[in-house]
Structure 1
Amino acid sequence: MRIWSLHPAHLDHAGLVACWRETLLAQVVLAGETKGYRNHPQLARFRDTSDALGAIGAYLDGIAMEATARGYNFNAGKIRERGFDERLPVTEGQLEYEWRHLGEKLERRSPEYAERWRASTPTAHPLFTVVPGAIESWERI
């Protein structure tokens, strides 16, 4: 499961769809409706909020907005909670780590997006505020 800290605009089609599906699964996990993935490290940052389902809902909203901007039809009705108005921190180190990881994926599967990747700089998903720091402690390298 990869719940990117990067802005969804950086993802190619396959990455955007995978992120949507995996985050919908994360929503089910955070709701306590499945036994799988309960201890997945990327869920820690959502669990550490005052409203884990609201936070994951805000994350899904960001993905849905990007999908709509591209003309895709993601079912935003699957987002269980809305109205989360906090921003979560993400470290510069985490963003850079994910940026390199995404670049490797794009080089293999999406040359057009890899070219765009090389010409741009990382930005964070709208849910996150970038703060100084190394790779997040929950990241599995």
Structure 2
Amino acid sequence: MRVWSLHPEHLDRIGLVAGWREGLLAQSALRRPEGGYGRHPQLERFRASPEPLAAIGTYLESLADEADARGYRFDRTRVVVPRTGVADHLLVVTNGQLAYERAHLLAKLDQRSPADAERLRAHPLRAHPSFVVVPGDVATWERT
């Protein structure tokens, strides 16, 4: 499971669609934590939220916004708790984690979409709208 902390604009088509699918999987795991993905390390930050389903819902809505901007249609009815306000469910990500994810995504894009890799290298790195960036290292839950 990869729930990107990067802004969805940085993802290529494959990454955006996969991010939506993985986000829905994360939502399902948060609803039923006893299942196989229920204890997935990437879900720690959502589980730490006062309202985990609202936090993942806000996350998914931002992916759907990016899909809309590109002319894709993600089925927003699959979001269990739709966004009411991004600021209500902000999560924390470190700048070290963002840098790690950027390098991870660049390695993927260099293989499957060099033009998207160049685009990512040329633009300033932004976090997903669900996250506020703080100084720090790669997250302890990340498998480096």
Q: TM-score, normalised by structure 2?
A: 0.94
Aligned to 1:122: 125
Aligned to 1:80: 80
Q: TM-score, normalised by structure 1?
A: 0.96
Aligned to 2:110: 107
User: 1:10-29 counterparts in 2 under 5 A?
Assistant: 10-29=10-29
What is the alpha-carbon root mean square deviation over aligned residues? 1.2
**Letter of the 2:139 counterpart:** E
User: 1:13-92 counterparts in 2 under 5 A?
Assistant: 13-32=13-32, 35-82=35-82, 83=84, 85-92=88-95
Q: Which ranges of structure 1 fall in alignment gaps of 5 or more residues? A: none
Q: Following the alignment from structure 1 to structure 2, what is the Cα–Cα distance between the partners of residues 106 and 31?
A: 32
Q: Which runs of 4+ in 1 moved over 3 A?
A: none
Q: Which ranges of structure 2 fall in alignment gaps of 5 or more residues? A: none
**Letter of the 1:101 counterpart:** H
Q: Following the alignment from structure 2 to structure 1, what is the Cα–Cα distance between the partners of residues 33 and 72?
A: 28
Report percent identity of matched pairs. 55
Q: Following the alignment from structure 1 to structure 2, what is the Cα–Cα distance between the partners of residues 34 and 98?
A: 28
Q: Following the alignment from structure 1 to structure 2, what is the Cα–Cα distance between the partners of residues 126 and 43?
A: 17
Per the alignment, in what secondary structure is the counterpart of residue 129 of structure 1? strand
Per the alignment, in what secondary structure is the counterpart of residue 39 of structure 2? coil
Following superposition, the deviation at residue 36 of structure 1 comes to 1.7
Aligned to 1:140: 143
Q: Following the alignment from structure 2 to structure 1, what is the Cα–Cα distance between the partners of residues 89 and 75?
A: 24
Following superposition, the deviation at residue 33 of structure 1 comes to 7.1
How many residue pairs get aligned? The number is 141
Is the 1:107–1:114 contact (alpha carbons within 8 Å) kept by the matching residues of 2?
yes
**Letter of the 2:20 counterpart:** W
